[in-house]
Amino acid sequence: MSGEIDRFSLSSTYVVLEDNGDAIPVAVSDRFFEDLESKFGDFKGKRLISHFTFDKDWETWEMHPAGEELVCLLSGQVDLILAQDGVEHTVQLSTSGSYVLVPRGTWHTAKVHTPSSMLFITPGEGTQNRPI
């Protein structure tokens, strides 16, 4: 193997997966989402690998029309609330490594029971948010 391989942390550097198989590290900052939009445009055909920690319930619902989102619990305990056709479904995540594939176009939010760490693989194109 030639060249040096860099090591990153998902707490400071997320990854954009391109359709062609490339993986592009993107530094996390206060302007992360603005920077993401300026660098990648509408995010068509791309997925974002990110990591967040939570100590309180999410304040918004979100929905991804371009594909399924993988939501994986790394630590803690969270109820993921999925809303489809006006019906809410609760999926409990309480074991490290447990995950949910949120269906395309499904509104979702989370109730956080203990401080939690989660990994996301998100099809970002067309993502929508709305208040709880």
Domain ranges of the chain: 13-131
Q: What is the pTM of this model?
A: 0.93
Strands (DSSP E) found in 66-106: 69-84, 87-93, 99-102
Q: Output phi, psi for 34, to 5 deg.
A: -65, -45
pLDDT in tens, 10-31: 999 999 999 999 999 999 999 9
Domain 13-131 part of CATH 2.60.120.10: yes
pLDDT in tens, the chain (132 residues): 567 899 999 999 999 999 999 999 999 999 998 888 889 988 999 999 999 999 999 999 999 999 999 999 999 999 999 999 999 999 999 999 999 999 999 999 999 999 999 999 999 899 999 999
| Nearest-angstrom CA–CA distance, 41 and 71 | 24
Instruction: Answer whether 69's CB lies under 8 Å from 102's CB.
Output: yes
